[in-house]
Amino acid sequence: MRADTPYTDGWYWSLDGLRLHYRDYAGDSKRPAILCLPGLTRNARDFDRLAERLAPDWRVLCADLRGRGESAYAKDSLTYVPLSYLQDIGQLLDSAGVDKVVVIGTSLGGLLAMLLPSTQPGRMAAAVINDIGPVIEEKGLARVRASVGHGGPWPTWVHAARDLADRNPGIYPKWGLEEWLVFAHRVARASSSGRIVLDYDAHIADPMRLPGGDAGHDMWAALDALADMPVLSLRGALSDIFSAATQKAMAARLPRLKTATIANVGHAPTLDETASTKAIDAFLAELAG
């Protein structure tokens, strides 16, 4: 652990030879670790405040998926798919010496949480699924496809923050410049030239842009595999990805599902909102007994 951080940098190798990164916040080893999985274009920094708040009561691992943050970019962009991410997660858990996890997954990370029992049976104790479900709304999906890889470079962090605010007016409508600066530091980094650039491989969306790229796993079947474990579903009230109808249908299928809707937020809640923290804290307190 560096003196200026509350976490240790963890490194491991994927099955196809990529050096991948996660943050490890030390915590109670008698409980399952919390594994935080970010959205499509996001990284471990998304969970800074959450992880610092939950540790040391919980050990918290925050993953940089391949092609994001400190993790290496894939040599083949067609490995930016759930199967590769799930294999990487298995390697991460083995490297960290973790047998049991509570997964907190945002968007893509939530889909991976639903799929994890199929590749890592018995390792997931519970899940917090943030603003995603088995049905993804087409309007939101089209927005995501159009936005990946666009934006920047910017000359300063303020320019980045203002541009990101202009590009995402309906997601966090209550935010001011201070909040957008925090957001910019989460999704972007300073390049070697001093310019501010997005912190991910622009090719991460290649698979979803191919013909039939949206086809794949039966996510309702994946969700049904969580029926015997505690699950918390969070939904941004303004989300164009995750509808209230889908969340209601999830609750009908999962008897132990708890739900919360986060006001004045689109896709996706940051998990720093008061309503998010209250829902997560209550969920984890019940797990801890």
Residues forming a β-bridge with 198 = 188
Residue pointed to by tokens 């201070």: 178
- Least Cα distance to 108 among 81, 137, 89 occurs for 81
Is residue 181 situated within a structural domain? Answer: no
Whether residue 41 contacts residue 68, with contact meaning beta carbons closer than 8 Å, is answered with: yes
Q: Is residue 205 part of a domain?
A: no
Residue 192 domain flag: no
pLDDT value of position 217: 79
Q: In the prediction, which pLDDT does 3 show?
A: 62
Q: Which domain holds residue 50?
A: 8-141+215-288
Q: What is the CATH number of the domain that holds 136?
A: 3.40.50.1820
Write down the pLDDT at residue 150: 87
Exposure string for 185-217, b = 16+ CB within 10 A, e = fewer = bbbbbeeeeebbbbbbbebbbbbbeeeeeeeee
What φ, ψ does residue 21 adopt, rounded to 5°? -125, 150
Number of folded domains in the chain?
1
Q: Are 198 and 41 in contact (CB under 8 A)?
A: yes
Could you give the angle at the alpha carbon of 261 between the alpha carbons of 64 and 251, nearest 5°?
90
Is residue 13 in a domain?
Answer: yes
Residue 193 domain-assigned (yes or no): no
Tell me whether residue 146 is in a domain: no
Question: Does 40 reside within a domain?
Answer: yes
pLDDT at 289: 77
pLDDT in tens for each of the 289 residues of the chain? 556 789 999 999 999 999 999 999 999 989 999 999 999 999 999 999 999 999 999 999 999 999 999 999 999 999 999 999 999 999 999 999 999 999 999 999 999 999 999 999 999 999 999 999 999 999 999 999 889 988 889 999 999 999 999 999 899 999 999 999 999 999 999 999 999 999 999 999 999 877 555 556 799 999 999 999 999 999 999 999 999 999 999 999 999 999 999 999 999 999 999 999 999 999 999 998 7
Q: Quick one: pLDDT at residue 280? A: 98
The verdict on residue 282 lying in a domain is yes
